[in-house]
A = this chain, B = another copy of it.
């Protein structure tokens, strides 16, 4: 039943590549997995779920470092449970709120910078092309 799989299958199941999984492990986003006697990594379905979470957060603009610093909470997001979160008091997944707000601020700053740049460039367009 979707038991243990090797890195290629796990990566495919999570929509990515073996290289990415080794990279996440190296950066501390994934714990060192069980190995076969021959040294090959073996993953269970929970890891696939975790990798999906990681990729979703990366796609939202969080950095690998952001996730590494909170790696021990990544599994809490997997089940997407509003109930168990509240039950943990100040121990819930709002661990990510600070880093998300930081990212939002960085995005706003970058958007503002690009917007200013765009305006400056548009102004000089007239100067140069006329």
Looking at A27-35, A38-46, A102-110, the stretch in contact with chain B turns out to be A102-110
A75 to chain B, nearest CB (A): 14
Most-contacted residue by chain B among A94, A108, A115, A118 (CB, 10 A): A118
Cα–Cα, bound, A101→B61 (Å):
27
Contacts of A96 in B (CB 8 A): 128-129
A114 within 8 A of B: yes
Chain A residues touching B, majority SS: helix
Cα–Cα, bound, A118→B127 (Å):
33
Select from chain B the residue with minimum beta-carbon distance to A127: B80
Q: How many residues of A contact B (CB 8 A)?
A: 31
Digitize A92-130: 1 where CB-to-B-CB distance is under 8 Å, 0 elsewhere. 011011001101100110110011011011101101111
A60 within 8 A of B: yes
Contacts of A124 in B (CB 8 A): 60, 100
